Structure 1
Amino acid sequence: MKKISILFLALATLVGFYSCEKSGTEVVLDPANITAPQLTSPADGSSLVFNKENKDSTIVFTWSPAQYGFNVAVDYYVQVDRQGNDFKSALPVGHVKSQDTLKISVNDLNNQILLLEDDPEVPNPLDVSFRVIAIINSQVDTAFSSAVKMNVSPFYIPIVYPQLYVPGSYQGWNPATADSIGSLNSDGSYEGYIYMNSATTPIQFKFTSARDWNHDNYGSAGPGKLTTENGLNNNLEVPESGYYKFNVDTQALTWSYLKTTWGLIGDATPGGWDSDTPMTYDADNHVWTVTLDLKVGEIKFRANGSWDLNYGSNNNDGKLQEGGSNIKVKVAGNYTVILNLDHTVYKYKLEKN
């Protein structure tokens, strides 16, 4: 069994509480004797119904504390996912330190539940699971509670996704008017597309957590790395003008970029599945467009003439997913096809002329 070393002199007096071995000042803690936290409220099998009338009410999560055999600061994170998904796509509900209670407004929890819906604009009652996890440090395994299963009925509100703003030399270094990228799962992972056009290259910029310079500002800590330490010489940069895809992780403090052009491909297009039909960027409306004749068949959107980055639609509902299903063209004709990557949820339109 894996054993984790913890330097803690006072542990030598607590042999009666758990199994350990002492060698000098080093004590070995057996993870099998750690007690995970357990959610006690809301109750397993219960239901929640949200609406605009109770959106300012408070939902309270409580749990029994994790036990390690000694007093230690514990970070608790409450998570939610669809039932049966084993928390593979867990979304954060909230975080507290060394407490056994988390309070969250109905409005904020409703927002997270909508992210789990097949169509957030037409929400249905959803079977979800909640759990709480306990973390003390990176050397000790995370302790997971059992899942509490519930049925939650959310109501539709426009989802407000966390944003990172991108002021830079391409737009006058003004956070108030800067484009932004969003966190689709509200988890510190941000993605988005920005058209940067400047006569001066390389183009320099920063990421900011608000539309000003008074909050978290992210600059360069080396290739692909970020820092929140302010400095005049740590601007991020891209080599030239273009339409860029940005990915940022504010927890790992990493970032990446990819310059893109876009095309349409598929057996409904003139080039079939062998070649792309190029699209043109409309800088005024922040969309890519192409007008062409389409046959009955299927299409997808590809970046840079490669399958490395492509979008389809799993539900053929105007919303795009990376690597999603082929988009069906059910009626032949002349179409204007619009690709909109300007918002956190990517969308497309097929407009028959």
Structure 2
Amino acid sequence: MKNIYKIVIAFVSVLFLSCNADAVDNRPVLEKISGSEMTLPATGKAFVLTEANAANAADKFVWTPAEYSYDVVVNYTLMMDKKGGDFSNPQVLATTTDVTEASVLVKNLNQAAIALGAVPGTASQYDIKVKWSVAGTESIVAQNTLTISVTAYTGLVPYPYTDWYLVGDATVAGWNNNNGNQPLFRSGTNSNLYKFTGYFKAGYFKVISKLGNWAPMYGGSGGSLVYRATEADSDPASINIATAGYYTFSINVQNLTYTLVPYDASSATVHSTIGLIGSSRTGTDAGWGEDTDMTKSTFDAHKWTLTLSLFDGEAKFRANNTWDVNWGGDKAFSGYPANGTGSGNIPVVRSKYKVYFNDLDGSYLMIPNQQ
């Protein structure tokens, strides 16, 4: 009797697998019928952009829909590159879903041109293409290219702040004034206050504001800062780190004071990955679905950097591509605990940024107008 049951079960299993295989074989195969192509604006159109019209639409860009053998959702990306470029690292002007047109603002077209090396006030030519994708398939880049001329304006983001960088044998840069120097994090509520919590070697350090230059500079001793305005002025004393370790260094450039106190980092988590996430990454809320990973310092495992172009939007930082550990802020450009950081989203305006992040306390610095 047992053998009969085994035979019946085996027969049913084979029949089930056969039916499933037939179901897989009979599924419709998605085939591309026609690709998407740019149609507007007319190729050769010239755009002379002005800052006064930054918030206006430069033009409407239109493309034909990509068609498939059955109805699917198609995601489109409108891209711009230098004339003759290979679109391996294009500027993204817009993203849409099942929509085959996008109005591009003057400021966004201008920033794309600046990011691609435009000289303000000089006409340059750029290629426009669209790429599209369907869930489960690779993106396809259109064959046809639309070429436009763009005369850009400077497009610099107003940034009325001074950044201060560590230099000295106690720091990551050594006594090199342009060697990946670690900046201090500026308060989001008082631009005279700066703070940095991190690792120092035994040695000495000062702070400089212009990479590649030895002035302006601050040095000092005993809690008092000494300012050096030009390289012709006397060189101030260096601040001493007697024992290697983690410290919090704070300065007040209005009162000319500083503090340097030990920091216990023994229980701090060393994260394997930290990423920047948010609508500023793509210009849409889709940017909240994926991180752009930052680069971890080999000198201090709690310091992270990233250079990238961002859109108008919001941003946060998170660890390990999940929301279990994340950091935010409510002030643009920079903040540290109780002075700009918090659980909110960091406001971002479109520009290319050098981003610095400290996972010990959530401090961030986002310097715009990068080349």
TM-score normalised by structure 2 residue count: 0.42
The structure whose RCO (Cα within 8 Å, separation 6+) is larger is 2
TM-score normalised by structure 1 residue count: 0.44
